[in-house]
Amino acid sequence: MLRRAARARSGITLTEILISIMIMGVGVISLATLFPLGLIRLRNAQRMSRGALLAESAISDLGTRNLLSKVSFTDSYISPWYVSPSGAFDPWVQDTPAYGAGAIDTSKTGADGVGAYSGDTSFPPTRSAGPGLPVAYDPLWRCITGIYPDALSGTGYETRFGSGIGFVRPDGTTAASVHGLQRISNLQANINDVTAVPASLSSYGATAATVRQNTLSVMQTFISPEDIVLQDPKGTYIDPNNTPSRLGSPSPVVPDMTTSGSPENDWRFTWFFTGQQSDLSNGTVFDGDVVVCENRPFGLDPVTAPYGNTYQVTGETVVEAVWGYSTSLGVVVGTDGSGNNIGYGNASSQRTVWLRWPASMPDPDVKVGGFIADVTYERSAAIIRAGRFPSFYSGQRCHWYQIAKKTEATAETISLGGEVGAYRRMTVWLTTPLRAQSLLMTPSGGGAATPAHPEAALIMPSVVNVYPRTIYTR
């Protein structure tokens, strides 16, 4: 019987080893990419769930605490900052023509006041039908900064919500319609130094104890307390239990403890409300949006703006916007004194926004999935009556939109008049159609459409989500 010799086996070649290493490397890298993606998904899920819970909590607080009760805004003891040189006014339906000016305008050219003029029938309102003025109900900002408007003397800082004064080019010799909404509050609070009661409050007998209590009430209502272990070290946190209050970033593992042994009021999510009284004759119904923010900054920064020195609210960047921009008009509503056609963009532009800003400003932080707001607000009734905002598009509005896509920021090539230095631009597309469009103008001799006047867009990177709601009060 013949036996065959065993055949020698060859080993694994270097080529096979390299191919195996490559396959294993691709698999490891693929697995490694899943971890950051998973963390991003978890963070987004947490933001959405926390935002939804906070929005429901906000709506409950607005109703059960009766926070939007009209009496609390018109009572000079509760809200003494709505008293102008010509008398008290209701910020939901009336505005002053300028900071420190009277709410009752005898010249009939000032604020676009609507509703009742404090019972003074000799000066009828601009209009007596329709909704009230859009405002930002933002007691937390007032609480943390301690800045309250003093319209009687016109001193201090008005700090309106979404103001573009100083940053958006003027409209010829007239200030552009970027004055910002009234940032209102009916809660007395000041945590910067609770031993010093603001003058507008002390004149009505408020004490440090009452201010301190109202501060805690504001903090409990407009924030979402953070888990004492899972804290975000990037946020800024304020403790109203200490005098003076302390600022700091807590540990991401354990809560910061005050000297008294009580845990600090740590929070990451906050909310405010933008909206308007639904009807001038009914002060119990309000339409608007509950805006939820994550790590929202609170402050006021003195800046050298392109159009003069001013103050900028931290975290609120305002740029010029053309809402519904297109190169041609889709709807013509008339002509101006020079024979130029005036109207609105075509149907394809109903989700398109053109953003412009001076090159001396940092590029705004615009992100896909983020939110921008149309905060166009004309304070002068004379300009509104002159037809700057024809048709049904109001010259005073606050509409929130989510960004679907955008272009990269680039140098502006078109001059619209009144610019200071070079400009930059960006085009964004929205997830929903526009609720109001900018007025466009085409030259009588032909040419591309351009905005008839500057309007404003507010960019707040801290906004997580916006929840439209109707609020009822008692």
- Name the more confident of 387 and 321: 321
- Report, as an integer, the average pLDDT of 372-379: 94
Taking the C-alpha atoms of residue 375 and residue 296, their distance in angstroms, rounded to an integer, is 19
pLDDT given at position 7: 63
Strand extents, DSSP E, 153-198: 182-184
pLDDT for residue 240: 44
The counts of H helices and E strands in the chain are 6, 23
pLDDT for position 32: 76
Rounded mean pLDDT of the chain? 80
CB burial of 326-348 (b: ≥16 within 10 Å; e: otherwise) equals beebbeeeeeeeeebbbbbbbee
Q: What's the one-letter identity of residue 273?
A: F
In this prediction, residue 173 carries a pLDDT of 76
Q: Is 312 helix (H, G, I), strand (E, B) or coil?
A: strand
Query: What's the whole-number mean pLDDT along residues 241-261?
Result: 45
Report the SS3 class of residue 141. Answer: helix
Mean pLDDT of 367-395: 82
Structure tokens at 339: 């024979």
Closest Cα to residue 394, out of 374, 416, 409, 410?
Answer: 374
* pLDDT value of position 263: 39
pLDDT score recorded for residue 259 = 39
Bridge partner residues of 448 (DSSP): none
Spatial separation of the C-alpha atoms in residues 181 and 400, rounded to whole Å: 14
The helix (run of H) or strand (run of E) holding residue 26 is helix 14-64
In sign, the C-alpha dihedral spanning 165, 419, 377, 402 is negative
Per-residue b/e over 401-422, b at no fewer than 16 CB within 10 Å?
Answer: bebeebeebeebeeebeebeee
Does residue 265 carry a pLDDT above 60?
A: no
List, for residues 383-405, the tens digit of each pLDDT value: 776 777 776 678 899 999 999 99
| 89 band by pLDDT with thresholds 50, 70 and 90 | confident
**For the whole model, what pTM was predicted?**
0.82
pLDDT tens sequence across 74-84: 887 778 888 88
125-146 pLDDT, tens digit per residue, is 666 678 889 999 999 898 888 7
DSSP string, 27-74: HHHHHHHHHHHHHHHHHHHHHHHHHHHHHHHHHHHHHHTTTT-HHHHH
Backbone angles phi, psi at 347, to 5 degrees: -60, -30
Using 50, 70 and 90 to split pLDDT, how confident is the model at 242?
Answer: very low
Interval 11-50: pLDDT, tens: 678 888 888 888 888 888 877 777 777 777 777 777 788 8
Position 4 scores a pLDDT of 62
Rounded Cα distance between 356 and 438, Å, is: 14
Residue 103 to residue 276: CA distance in whole angstroms = 18
Give the percent of the chain with pLDDT over 70: 77
Q: What pLDDT score does 391 carry?
A: 65
Q: Write the DSSP symbol of residue 261.
A: S
Residue 128: predicted pLDDT: 67
Q: What is the DSSP letter of 154?
A: T
Q: What strands, in cross-sheet order, belong to the sheet with 440-442?
A: 329-335, 341-345, 440-442, 450-451
Q: What is the pLDDT of residue 258?
A: 43
What percent of the chain shows pLDDT beyond 90? 32
How far is residue 273's CA from residue 468's CA, in Å, rounded to a whole number?
Answer: 10
Domain ranges across the chain: 67-280, 300-470
Q: Is the model's pLDDT at 190 over the cut of 60?
A: no
Residue scoring higher pLDDT (201 or 386): 386
* Nearest-angstrom CA–CA distance, 310 and 206: 31
Predicted confidence at residue 257, as pLDDT, reads: 43
